[in-house]
Amino acid sequence: MMNIPGYADWRGIAARYLFVALCGLVLLFLVLPVLTVIPLSFSADPYFHYPIREFSLRWYQDIVDSPYWMPALRNTMIVGLCATAIATALGVLAALGLSQSNLPGKAWITALLLSPMIVPLVIAAVGMYFFYTRVGLSDGLLGLILAHAALGTPFVVITVTATLVGYNENLSRAARGLGAGPACVFWKVKLPLIAPGVVSGALFAFATSFDEVIVAIFLAGVEQRTIPRQMWSGVREQLSPTILAVATILVLFSILLLVALELLRRRGERLRGIAPA
């Protein structure tokens, strides 16, 4: 139920209901195209139409039996996990450095670290392509992993930096006063408290890598196709309901990521002593 103040008159109540209705329409406008895809992925017909005459799992079975989708899924997972590990390590180190108030050139370093989020992805992909071609990293998974790590690092920096804002440095001082070294303070004291921010950043980095297609088009070779690139190729070359089945799986995966992020946010609030809203 809506929380309407007791002093609100009929105009305030009508405005609140109108606002909620408008938000609902906007949400429906954004979500409805996604919701129309999901039922079509269970249609037995090899073309897209409503109403659905017969339901089937044939397109999901086609994903398993296809010589293209399973290798693409394997490449996507390899690239995503490796890029996430690199981005998380670099992002945590960068956030720890940026949390120091006496860091010289802090604003410029922050702008440089966040630039992959600001620069248009096509420009970044072209620049990476020319650079990786010169050093022999194009047409392979290694170049794609490094590129996706660069794209995911800003998300880790943002989430970990936001978590460090609520970190009490007196805990680190107390640990050092008890004889703990810098490494012990980080692993035993600081990291457990900022873990929700680290995991949230890692999930954002993985999601960035998982659905990225532009850089994959420039850097991945024929044998290194990822799920987004395979979907792009399928839309251009041979439109099949299998793409809808893959899209449905990606939607469910995104929902799971959002749920995990919300649980991590609530856990971070509990660790910092913030009462949930």
In a domain? residue 109: yes
Percent of the chain whose predicted confidence (pLDDT) is above 90: 6
Three-state DSSP class for residue 158: helix
In a domain? residue 137: yes
- From residue 62, alpha-carbon distances to 41, 75, 206, 234 in Å are 11, 18, 26, 13
In a domain? residue 212: yes
Q: How many domains does the chain have?
A: 1
In a domain? residue 247: yes
In a domain? residue 49: no
Q: Which domain holds residue 260?
A: 67-271
Whose tokens are 């900022």? That residue is 194
Q: Tell me, what's the pLDDT at 277?
A: 45
Q: Is the pTM of this model over 0.75?
A: yes
Give the pLDDT mean for 178-196: 79
- What is the band of 22 on the pLDDT scale with cuts at 50, 70, 90? very high
Q: Following CA atoms 40, 46, 51, 57 in sequence, which dihedral angle do they give, to the nearest 10 degrees? A: -50
Instruction: Write the CATH number for 243.
Output: 1.10.3720.10
Q: Tell me, what's the pLDDT at 86?
A: 93
Q: Which of 227, 82, 228, 63 is nearest to 141 (CA)?
A: 82
Joined tokens for residue 20: 């909620």
Q: Tell me, what's the pLDDT at 56?
A: 80
- From residue 231, alpha-carbon distances to 70, 164, 211 in Å are 12, 39, 10
Alpha-carbon span 75 to 219, nearest angstrom: 13
In a domain? residue 4: no
In a domain? residue 78: yes
In a domain? residue 17: no
Alpha-carbon span 39 to 125, nearest angstrom: 34
Q: Tell me, what's the pLDDT at 115?
A: 83
